[in-house]
Each structure stands twice: as C-alpha cells, then as structure tokens.
Structure 1
Amino acid sequence: MEQLEGKVAVVTGGGSGIGQGIVGACVEAGMPVVIADIDLDGAERVASAARESGVDALAVQVDVSDRTAMEVLAERAYEEFGEVNLLCCNAGVIVETSIVDSTDADWEWLFRVNVMGAVHGAQAFVPRMREQAGEAHIVNTSSMAGLTVPPVNVAVYAASKHAVVALTDRLRHEVAADGIGVSVLCPGGVASRLFEGHRHAPADLADKITPALRTEGRGRMSPALVGKRVLDAMRA
C-alpha cells in the first residue's frame, strides 16, 4: 500500500502509547483515522489533535474483548468513511506474575484483550474489507515477548503475544486470496502506557502491574517512532 494519503485507518488502543504513535503517523500521512480505546477521554484527546492537524478523526469507546463492541466499531467506521484500508489491532494489557502463581483471572483478562481483541477485529472487519473497492491491510500488535521468552515474570503476557503471532500468520493465509494484507508488529521496549493497564484492570488484578513495571519506560523506543515504522513497512 504505497499511497496512504486519503486511506482510512482504524486503530484500537489508539488513545495512548503505541496506538497513539500509529495514529500520529497516519495523521502525518493524511489518513482519516478512527481512534478506538476503552479510555474515551484519551481517544477524544488524540482525535482532537488529529482534527487540529486537518485530518478527519472519530473517537469511539471500545472494549476489544467484546465482540459486539467491535462490530459496532466496524459499523461506525464504515458509516463515517465508507471503507477501512488499515486496521491496527493494537490494544493490549499486562500483568506481572509467574505461571505457578498466576490465576485463571490473569489468563482470562490478558487473552480476552490481547488475543480475542485481534480475533474480534478480524471477525468484524474482514467481511467488510472483502466487499470494499479499496485495498486493505491488518496489523496486529504482538511484542518481542511473542517471539522470545522474557527474563521477567510476564509469562501470561508472553503467552498471549505468542498467540497473536500465530493467529496473525494464519489470518494472512486465510485472506491472501482476497487481496487483504496482514502483518504482525513485534516491538521491543516502548515508552507506552501498557504498564498503566491497571486503570482498566479487574479490581483483583490491578496490583499485579507493579511499580517496577510501570517505570520501565526509560530508555525505550518512542511510540511515534514505532508508528512511523509501521507505516514505512506498509509502503515497502
């Protein structure tokens, strides 16, 4: 997808962090953008900045773990812009725990958001992308933790991100004949708000995002640089 100006993007988790970085890159490329986030205030703030830059933007509150909510997101995006050329399933959460000490709630929350968020994105958008005239591409955000075994207690997160890599590779094969591109984003350390996910965590999991994890943003790649690299890869 070499020409991005005027193409429409939808970014989940777009109200902060990597998602905001992707939105910023889309705005610089002249792409109308739908910013989806469970934090509506954050999504509205990012959308407002996009509009000030002269780009059409829509903020939508979405819980990606809810398939119906993702269907509503797709409906709103297509009603507003007619088609979606780039879908970035980026929303993600993390907890710090070992496998032995983890709870079913840990696994359920991270897999609902990190894995099912990408699944729900495909289920909601691919049927519509197949019908549209314009080209389409999906980017699912995994992590370097989806390719390696991290040396810290983020086993549940790593397992969910390995799953994202696998499902993205399978999705790429499933939609290739439709002309829909699919990529997986596996960034290393990024100075994002991932470690502030306790804001939206179930009450019994909030304390598993420790102060040590929350302050690991120092010396990490900026979300803006990640966003730029995503679009550079799209153009390649």
Structure 2
Amino acid sequence: MSANSIHPTALIDPKARIGEEVSIGAYTVIGPEVSIGDGTEIGSHTLIEGATRIGKKNRIFSHAVIGSIPQDLKYHGEKVRLEIGDENIIREFTLINPGTEGGGGVTRIGNGNLLMGYVHIAHDVRIGDRCILANAATLAGHVELGDHVVVGGMTPIHQFVRIGDYAMIAGASALSQDIPPYCLAEGNRAHLRGLNLTGLRRKMERETIDALKQAYRELFESGKPLKETAQSLRKSTEHPAVANLCRFILESQRGIPFKRKQ
C-alpha cells in the first residue's frame, strides 16, 4: 500500500475513507462521511464534509468548501450527498453543496472538469464531463450542464436551467433560460449568438458542423415556430448531433433565449 502525505495539522475524522497516495495540506478538515479516491491532492485550509464522495486523481486547491449543507431554506437536515468524479481541478474558494430532498438528494459532478476560483455549485446541480467554469461562475439549484460546456467568468445561471453539450456561455452573462447543445450565448439577459464554432472545430468533423449550421438557420433564423421546426428536423435528419440539438429544444421547460426574426 502506498503512503499518503498528510500534514500534521490536518483534522481528519477516523471514519473518513482515504485512498492511497492522497495528499492533504495544512489545516484541512475532513468529516466522517467523506470518501476520497486514490491520488487526490487537497490543498491547505480546505473543508470537506457531509456525505461526500470524491473520486481519483482530483486536485482541490486551498480554501475550497465541499459538501457543506445546501443554501436552501427547505433543507432540514435530511440525508443528502455530493458525488465528484475523477481528475477534476477545483480551484481556490470554490463552494460545492450537496443535493436536497426535493431535487433527488444528490449533486453530481463528472470527470475532468475545471472549476476556477470562487465558483459556486449549488444543490442538486448536475455537471457532465470536461466542462470549464471560469472564475466566479455561479450555478443555482437544479442546473444541468452537459459535456464540454464552457461558462465564462462572473456568469450567474438561474435555477433549473439546462445547458447542452459543447455550449458556451460568455462571461458576465446572466442566464435564465436553456441553451441548446453546440450553441453560443451572451448578454444580460443572455441570448443565442450562433453556434459555438470554436469549440466544435476542436472536436467535430466539418460535415457535422455544416449540418449544425444548416439546422441552426432553420431553427432560429427562419422565423418558423421553434418546436415544430425541431420536431420536423429530428424526424428527417441523419446526423446524431442535429437530432441531439432538436431533442434538447423539444424537452426544454424554460424556453430558449433567441431573437425571433421579424
């Protein structure tokens, strides 16, 4: 078994489960229901409490607060949890809360995400894989992010908002409605500005991007009813990415913020 590196001033409850090759910095406090996977590094002055499971090879920087009770007045001490996957980077002063009874009882963060300084992840949030949340991005309760989402700094996101795969939200953009996959949104209040072409070109083939461009024009620039157009495109398309875009629109409960063509 490989040895851990734990600073003598760290306070770790004997019931906490600590994996192998874990590094824990000075004055960090870890509660009894916490589980930390192999190879994870935790900086100084960090608090990890509650029923929190952290996977392997995460890097958690100093002064992060992870697993403290939800900032929700409906919370009355019921058993809730926080699940964090593998290889995430959680920077300084980030705050992550567990779920609530009304939201399924769990906040879940996937793998390979970068949460920059002062990010807030509220109760019952779901974050996929390989997302980037820039400094001071704030996700309210029940927000859902797909994979490869980028959220700019100082951007607040309203509760229950959904953001699809490969979408990008510009910095300082207050967002109160759903953003479909592959799209770019900005402004206060944020609305669609087109596709997230920079992100798509890093990951997708030209044929798929061209199909998404055509679908975007049909959906948001033709002046046709949005959900009827999405339903028609979903039935006729041969491209999985276009079908994913249409499915997201059809399932949206908060609406899509775009400027309708006059």
TM-score by length of 2: 0.21
**Of the two, which has the highest radius of gyration?**
2
Per residue, is there more strand in 1 or in 2?
2
Identify the structure with the greater helix proportion.
1
Question: Which of the pair has the greater relative contact order for Cα pairs under 8 Å at 6+ separation?
Answer: 1
